[in-house]
Amino acid sequence: MPALCRDCFSAVAPEAPRCAACGSPRLRRHDELLDLSIAHLDCDAFYAAVEKRDDPSLADKPVIVGGGRRGVVSTACYVARLYGVRSAMPMFKALKACPNAVVIRPNMKKYAAVGAEVRRLMEEATPLVEPLSLDEAFLDLSGTERLHRHAPAETLMRLARRIEQEIGITVSIGLSYNKFLAKLGSDLDKPRGFAVIGRAEARAFLAARPVSAIWGVGRAMQERLARDGLTTIAQLQDMDERTLVGRYGGIGLRLYRFARGEDARRVDPDGEVKSISAETTFDTDVSDARELEAILWPLCEKVSRRLKRAGLAGRTLTLKLKTAKFRLVTRQASLGTPTQLAEVIFREALALLRREADGTPWRLIGIGASVFAQPSEADRPTLLEPDRARKAKLEQAMDRLRERFGEETIGKGRGLRR
């Protein structure tokens, strides 16, 4: 059975408890170790890790990166997780579980810069990197053995060490023969994990896992499957393709294939962004319609800037609201002409908001754009709005001033209402 030391990358005897070259116990053995090339790399507790890197006094303390008491946890370090703190947990619950936690407001500009450093190192390992977020990506190392003069597994181990030494954070890696299993693998042995899932054990490995482990099976689908008595992947493995497709349609085919460890998706460096959004959680519930409108405007500006930077225009807008009791409400509008303009996004979002602003207290509001088109198709004049091109030029001029002199340089009057 092939075995490698994760610290010095030496080949290790199959039964050796430690590396003979450096004495490290961090060994990885697997029959298919030298044959697999699809990986998922995930930074460990990314935001919190960056904060601890920048402030060594936080090293052994529980750190939570997130909003105020009314916000949610963006990231909890592994010390905080020992207290039961988890990502997306309401802050008041997190602080109740871990009252001595150090709470840090997110610094997305800093995290994006660190994420770009990690991306650069990944792309030195292979050009086939498909980012999923700032802190995770799929990598396809097929064909890199000739370039690096060692197997993909060793390239990944070397990459993990470079990230630790040069950037100062740790990562976990899942290595397999497809994206689905690689993603599952990266979560098996955190932090500083390196899990391998080969073809031989894939079906048995999946059998004991819940149906929620399958990509795309969210809460609603889990509940639907549970009503049909299906809670584990083993049960899906016992069903034939025709039955699953007949009962669940297109997702039934995915259930059939993924339950058997089959995933034909390739690692795509140009993978599409599905949506661009911005949201905020209030320190106290907001029910006043005018206040909600004032809060909505800067979110629309933020989405507009992100669309322009990404070179995208949105055809569909989604308003997101969350009640004081955490009930999520979403409302959508489809646009006749795709847009990048904050003014258009705000106008459409405001129409959606006014239908919901009936005095209900809300704890969160957000706006997102999706179903993208090219900028060349965006904001063309129409019979109902012949001056849209003029509005686009005005926003572009404002954007240039902001880029040169700062975000607060210029703005519209409605931005002052708060």
- Only one residue has tokens 């493995």, namely 237
Instruction: Grade residue 281 by pLDDT with cuts at 50, 70 and 90.
Output: confident
Tell which wins on pLDDT, 337 or 142.
Answer: 142
pLDDT higher than threshold 90 for residue 371? no
Contact 2, 27 (CB under 8 A): no
| Cα-Cα-Cα-Cα dihedral sign, residues 91, 97, 99, 103 | negative
Which residues in 45-74 are b (16+ Cβ under 10 Å) and which e? bbbbbbbbeeeeebeeebbbbbbeebbbbb
The SS3 call for residue 189 is coil
Residue 88 DSSP symbol: T
Tell which wins on pLDDT, 283 or 321.
Answer: 321
Average pLDDT value for residue range 113-140: 94
Contact 77, 63 (CB under 8 A): yes
pLDDT higher than threshold 60 for residue 152? yes
Average pLDDT value for residue range 130-150: 92
**CATH 1.10.630.10, applies to 202-259:** no
Contact 282, 364 (CB under 8 A): yes
Question: Lowest-pLDDT range, 172-176, 397-401, 408-412?
Answer: 408-412
CA end-to-end span of the chain = 65
What is the pLDDT, as a whole number, of residue 87? 87
User: Is the whole-model pTM more than 0.85?
Assistant: no
Element (H, E) at 36: none
Average pLDDT value for residue range 69-84: 89
Q: Which superfamily is assigned to 275-416 in CATH? A: DNA polymerase, Y-family, little finger domain (3.30.1490.100)
What is the pLDDT, as a whole number, of residue 218? 80
Residues composing the chain: 418
What is the pLDDT, as a whole number, of residue 398? 67
318 beta partners: 332, 368
Take residue 292 and report the two structure tokens written for it.
């909600």
Contact 283, 90 (CB under 8 A): no
Delimit the domains of the chain by residue range. 31-197, 202-259, 275-416
Instruction: Grade residue 410 by pLDDT with cuts at 50, 70 and 90.
Output: low
Which residues are CB-neighbours of 63 under 8 A, at least 6 positions away?
48, 51, 52, 76, 77, 79, 80, 101, 102, 104
Question: Lowest-pLDDT range, 67-76, 134-143, 362-371?
Answer: 67-76
The SS3 call for residue 155 is helix
Instruction: Grade residue 383 by pLDDT with cuts at 50, 70 and 90.
Output: low
The SS3 call for residue 138 is strand
**Exposed / middle / buried, residue 78 (Cβ in 10 Å: 0-12, 13-18, 19+):** middle
Closest CA to 30 of 14, 45, 53: 14
What is the pLDDT, as a whole number, of residue 414? 56
pLDDT tens digits, one per residue of 206-259: 999 999 999 878 877 889 999 999 999 999 999 999 999 999 888 899 999 999
pLDDT higher than threshold 80 for residue 412? no
Q: Show the CA angle centred on residue 125, arms to residues 206 and 166, nearest 5°.
A: 105
Q: What is the dihedral of CA 258, 122, 88, 83, to 10 degrees?
A: 100
Positions marked catalytic: 136
31-197 CATH, one of 3.30.70.580, 3.30.70.270, 3.30.200.20, 3.40.50.150: 3.30.70.270
Take residue 375 and report the two structure tokens written for it.
């900028």
Average pLDDT value for residue range 119-138: 93
